[in-house]
Structure 1
């Protein structure tokens, strides 16, 4: 899904070679992350795995950190678009509106589980706390705007609500991926909505 989104974006700029190079570099990066420590991965390792030269790499990225961060930002942006796109008529009924956004979140994780599992498992080593925080904060605020249910308790300050919800979602998603997705997305969404509404 990420590769398709990147290809569409770059095709509008008229250079599919750029898309292919970036896709190959991203694929090489995540393959290497599954095999070895971040500190032992070099730009040369990445370009060799991607079958590209270093000149091509430096045309797009400053270093391996830039490659990682740009790809993560793109992945998170695609995820947010996937989660918060307008709901269709099939999402109406007894389920609260927030359920469908949470369901999309887990469905997206499931469809892209290999890359997101690497990010979650290596999050401390990769030092991506700021990127993850930005994603969760943006998603929370978008969710507030999208659902009336998210604005139910005015007596609790918004920053406390945000911290509670983010901690619940981030921790549960990490657990779910690290344990091989033991429950389907539908059950995860329903369970989280029930617990948050109860609290």
Structure 2
């Protein structure tokens, strides 16, 4: 599978970069991508180890290390802030005379192939990131382990939150009441759970 995919906004500029979690063999490529794609914010949705298996390389310095060498890149961890369910790290990557400080949001409580018990946990996490993104307008790199399940859920929810915000700001909107919007989300959930009941594509025709 590809290392990453890029979702573009309406102005044809990269906005989200969805990536696999880097492995030891792809750490150099990962940091090169961060510099080349003008990434200033990384969202990590997996733990390094889950159920005894490595899900992602430790691509930043451990607490006992002041820096690590990744090929020709030097990566420092200048500061770390711990929250209940996630950590925020301020990483500096140096390549020759090029330097960049990258903010990494590491959510540590989302099980692979699973969902969070409280929807507010993910919403609070995203609200923290969104407040920074609105101020900086930088590109957002999102990765879990495979770059599919948790990453896709995060980006999908972000886009739905944007749509909801745009509707509320618009002078004329199609969905005027919160109750109607909530009903719409319930319909979508029901459709996803049993698409064979309502899909125009029958089995064997897709």
TM-score by length of 1: 0.32
Q: Which has the higher strand share?
A: 2
- Which structure carries more helix by proportion? 1
